[in-house]
Chain A
Amino acid sequence: MDFNGSDTLPGPRTEDHLPHTAQAAVKIVIVGGFGVGKTTMVGSVSEIRPLTTEETMTQAGVGVDDDYGSETKTATTVAMDFGRIGITDQLVLYLFGTPGQERFWFLWNGLFEGALGAVVLVDTRRLEVSFDVMGRLEERGVPFIVAVNSFPDGPRYPLDDLRTALDLTADIPIVECDVRRRASSKEVLMTLMGFLHSLAVSGALT
């Protein structure tokens, strides 16, 4: 990119500037398998136009029996959408819509380790695409809730049946949502925060 033409450089709109008093940020991750609505959710609740940060991953060809050594390295660009919500004059919340595949997560320093918690989006037509990410969060001790994104042609199951199929303990909230609507996405985030708060109160959050 050309950094010299300062008139044409992209940047935040004036109304998107954070106050100088902004001291710190917190983050929440929105995860789930391919096409479950992560980007849509980030966009519906963000106060700024959603942005994308990219990382390039150089990967040796795996599972390929070859004689070319480093010649087989391939570069994969991994993109992550994110949005922002101002909480107070001092505090800012960032939401990251994160690819479900764990092999990408290490690209972003502390993305999951530092997140307050996670929203796992599921699509009832293909519940299993979000299975792996839930297990990864459990392994890493990242608290999460499950949000069922209602697609019109998706089957509707009683929440108890979903809890059984997803093997979730009784305390983990499962909520239905339409992530295209801001109010619905906001409700999902409020549910996550309420859950984190209950963990904090009970001293269970580690």
Chain B
Amino acid sequence: MTGPRRRRRQPQHQPPPPEPPFPPPPAEPTEGPPAAGALASGDGTPGEGGPADGRPGNPERLYTIAGAADGARAELDLVTLIVARSAAPPSASPEGAAVLRLCGAPLSVAELSAYLSLPFSAMTVLITELITAELVQARAPIVRRALPDRSLLEAVMHGLQRL
């Protein structure tokens, strides 16, 4: 065949650092706001959940912790799942109330952006405020990592098979 030909390129960046394995499903489905423990800041170590606590499958490590005392911002991904923790208080902005109404069931930042016709960047600012006010909970996505996770890939394959 004729026509232009491509030349392959080489990786330019170091691979991301390894992360703990994909946690298995929680033993029991949780009712209500399941991250209440993860968001509690009593012991000041909200980000733990790896081997340190002796529960490698701890689903709490999936939650993004925002609004920490140091003012750290939530790292919101397009597919971070947002769930309302309570109804909108009277003080909520119309946009904030709209998010809380939509997040009665988990919804990704991308979906919120689409339904509310807000750019992704504006959406993350709004959601970060809601996380800080403890009105919503954020469930971080599972990302590609250096230590590949076969059980995760297998779960996705089985899910696709049923499509």
Instruction: Give the size range of B's interface with the partner.
Output: 35 or more
CB-nearest residue of chain A relative to B141? A25
Chain A binding site: helix, strand, loop or mixed by DSSP? mixed
Mark B73-104 against chain A: 1 for CB-CB distance below 8 A, else 0.
Answer: 00111111101000000000111011001101
Q: Are B8 and A113 in contact (CB under 8 A)?
A: no
Question: B115 to A10, Cβ gap below 8 A?
Answer: yes
A109→B6 contact, CB < 8 A: no
Per the 8 Å Cβ criterion, residues 85-118 of A in contact with B are 85-94, 96, 107-111, 113-117
Contact A190 B160 (CB under 8 A): yes
Which residues does chain A contribute within 8 Å of B148, judged by CB atoms?
196, 199-200, 203, 205
Report if A56 contacts B (CB, 8 A): yes
Q: Are A55 and B121 touching (Cβ within 8 A)?
A: yes
Q: By the criterion CB–CB under 8 Å, are B83 and A51 in contact?
A: no
| CB <8 Å contact, A167 and B7 | yes
Cβ-defined contact, A94 with B9, below 8 A: no
A190 to B162, CA, bound (A): 11
- A139-B10, A167-B6, A199-B148 are contacts. A116–B153 as well, Cβ < 8 Å? yes
Q: Which of A16-24, A31-39, A62-70 contacts B (4 or more CB under 8 A)?
A: A16-24
- B115 touching A51, Cβ below 8 Å: yes
Contacts of A9 in B (CB 8 A): 98, 101-102, 115-116
CA distance A155 to B67 in the complex (A): 55
A-B pairs, top 4 by smallest CB distance, nearest first, are A87-B159, A200-B148, A114-B143, A3-B94
Residues of B within 8 A of A (CB): 1, 3-13, 15-16, 25-26, 29-31, 59, 62, 75-81, 83, 93-95, 97-98, 101-102, 104-108, 110-111, 113-121, 124, 139-144, 146, 148-150, 152-161, 163
